[in-house]
Amino acid sequence: MTNRLSRAFDDLTTGWRTHSHSPANLTILVVDDEAPIREYLRRVLDTAGHITHMASEADEAMTIAASLGQFDVLVTDLMMPGTRGDELARRLRASEPGLKVLYVTGRSDELFEERSVLWEDEAFLEKPCTPKSVLEAVALVTSGRIPTVAA
């Protein structure tokens, strides 16, 4: 089964590997309590040339962030056991105000329940998501636009 999934991922990503939609070599902290989602995001981001660090919950993410000192993007699930992704972003921004945040969530309705708009330097992506949409969302949150790629 793992080999089938790996081949399917390779087939799916062949077209966009050489045409990454986001700036290369970003340092990205991925936080999700579901291991398959973390691995999927790691593989998409690594394949595009980014440096990824993984955490399964907020406290682990805070420790990793402290050891990194500075990083470019937080990619986080919104609903996780313990601390929610938006609270994690708020805590990280206390020391890194310009931190870019991408919420990858299956519950965008809950993201907007308490807030009618996203803050500056934030975007969200609904699960499930394609590799292309992940990279476009990272490009959007880091540069404010989605680069067009010539065929």
The confidence score (pLDDT) of residue 40 equals 96
With tokens 């309590």, the residue in question is: 33
What are the tokens at 67?
């050891």
Element (H, E) at 100: strand 100-105
Residues β-bridged to residue 102: 75, 123
Q: What is the pLDDT of residues 32-49, one digit of tens each?
A: 999 999 999 999 999 999
**Considering the entire predicted model, what is its pTM?**
0.79
When pLDDT is averaged across residues 2-7 and rounded to a whole number, the result is 46
Amino acid symbol at 103: Y
- Indicate whether 119 pLDDT > 70: no
- Indicate whether 12 pLDDT > 60: no
Give me the percent of the chain exceeding a pLDDT of 90.
54
* 49 CB-near residues (< 8 Å, 6+ apart): 20, 24, 25
